[in-house]
Structure 1
Amino acid sequence: MGFFFTPRFVLINVIVIFQCFSLPTFAQDFDFFYFVQNWPGSYCDTERSCCYPRTGKPSADFKIHGLWPNYNDGTYPSNCDPSSPFDRTQISDLVSSMEKNWPSLACPSSDNTKFWSHEWNKHGTCSESVLDQYEYFETTLNLKAQANILQALQTAGINPDGSHYSLDKIKSAIEEGIKLTPGISCNVDGSGNSQLYEIYLCVDSSASNFIDCPVFPNSNCASSVEFPKF
């Protein structure tokens, strides 16, 4: 017995096939976020050095690196939507706060646009099922306000004065101060000293709440690390 396909049947199937191929673009495809802050003194205290943004030297505080969608197995998506490029005009009322909390220290000096564009294009576009461009940057700034890493460290007597501190003491100070276990990464200064560089905290896939990290990045820190001045 043969099969007869009506135009309506064909149209319905074309729509279903189109929807099946379209869904991954809009579906949430990650498990959690890494919220990453770094210490500008460590960024600058390397052989590469740094350049202050055109607005001047940033304040001596941890700065935002980014909000990065991740999978529970430690891998991550990236550059998910080339059709949604960074648009500075969409975040014009956030720029002042971003210049303070999310500056670029890369050379040559800049207005931060290249840095923010990189973060949105590589990481932010992979969270569009949860956060549009404005929400991505606004949410990240709000997370920064909730997680005062420097205050937690200084309360425990850990200060950015060029001294060396136990990595375990640094981790414990952050756990005590903000009630979250951090991932910690380090870099190396011109003399080969291990420096406190980046702090990783985790956020749920809705970008609403801090959570215990499902997985941590590999630590490259020595047991004692320098906390350089800035």
Structure 2
Amino acid sequence: MFILQNNMVKGQYLMLIFLVLNNIVVIQGASSGLAYRLAMQWPASFCSTLSTKDTCIESPPNQWTIHGLWPKKSFNIGDISESTRVQLAKLWPNLNASSNNEQFWKQEWKKHGSCSNLTIEEYFEKAIQLATLYNIYNILEKNSIKPSSKIYYTDKEISESIQKVTGYKPEVHSTKKQPFLVSEIRFCFDQAFRMMDCNTTYQLNPLLYLEH
């Protein structure tokens, strides 16, 4: 753990938010067919990397949110029940104000989840189920890892704190420029959605888990 030595300009972070982008990325497994990766993205980090032409939504949720569960089937919003859409608006919002939630969900559905045998409704319900079950904010908080603009953690510290609860190693991703911000955490699953270790290498860079 590293303590930030210089005062940081908090004003630049006021518009930053948590994104829990919980993504379930469908990938092709070498020996077990399909495998899934549940990726959680932190909104504060997402907003800090937006280009000048893009802005965050006015009132982003104060939680981790879903990025995407990604099959390549045609998207029809009518195939998603109203109750599921209400949950998606909370757990899987589009943080970029230049487009709406439905456009974001459609993009994630079409772009990333090829090989999924799930229907549209099943796909989004599964994302909600996993995002709720593996609540990253609560898991980290139980291990005394909390959002801050002054305290640095390593990816190894964050990964091991999650592994204490789930029993499996996640992937910890960060932004590319300093100060490095915790941007996304991914859980790996087999075809039956049983959690498994992710194949990851620690970078050990000092990371900020940016506060809201």
TM-score, with normalisation over the residues of structure 1?
A: 0.69
| Aligned-partner SS, 1:194 | coil
Q: CA deviation at 1:106?
A: 2.1
- Contact in 1 for aligned 2:188/2:195 (Cα 8 Å): yes
Q: Distance in 2 between the 1:166 and 1:203 partners?
A: 24
Deviates more, 1:195-204 or 1:173-182: 173-182
What amino acid sits opposite 1:94 in the alignment?
Answer: T
| Aligned-partner SS, 1:180 | coil
Provide the residue aligned with 1:94 in structure 2: 84
Q: CA deviation at 1:30?
A: 4.2
- Contact in 2 for aligned 1:152/1:178 (Cα 8 Å): no
Establish whether residue 34 from structure 1 lines up as the match of residue 37 from structure 2: yes
Q: Which of 123, 138, 156 is the aligned partner of 2:112? A: 123
RMSD of equivalent CA atoms: 2.3
Q: CA deviation at 1:125?
A: 4.2
Provide the residue aligned with 1:51 in structure 2: 55
What amino acid sits opposite 2:189 in the alignment?
Answer: V
Q: CA deviation at 1:167?
A: 2.3
Q: Distance in 1 between the 2:155 and 2:108 partners?
A: 28
Identity rate, percent: 28
Q: Which of 184, 189, 204 is the aligned partner of 2:172? A: 184
Q: Distance in 2 between the 1:47 and 1:199 partners?
A: 19
Q: Distance in 2 between the 1:30 and 1:106 partners?
A: 34
What amino acid sits opposite 1:38 in the alignment?
Answer: Q
More helix by percentage: 1
Q: Which of 58, 69, 73 is the aligned partner of 1:67? A: 69
Q: List alignment gaps of at least 5 residues for structure 1.
A: 1-28, 69-77
TM-score, with normalisation over the residues of structure 2?
A: 0.74
Q: Which of 175, 178, 183 is the aligned partner of 1:197? A: 183
Q: CA deviation at 1:47?
A: 5.5
| Aligned-partner SS, 1:127 | coil
Q: CA deviation at 1:118?
A: 1.2
Q: Which of 140, 144, 161 is the aligned partner of 1:173? A: 161
What amino acid sits opposite 1:134 in the alignment?
Answer: E
- Contact in 2 for aligned 1:42/1:197 (Cα 8 Å): yes
What amino acid sits opposite 1:121 in the alignment?
Answer: K
Q: CA deviation at 1:64?
A: 1.2
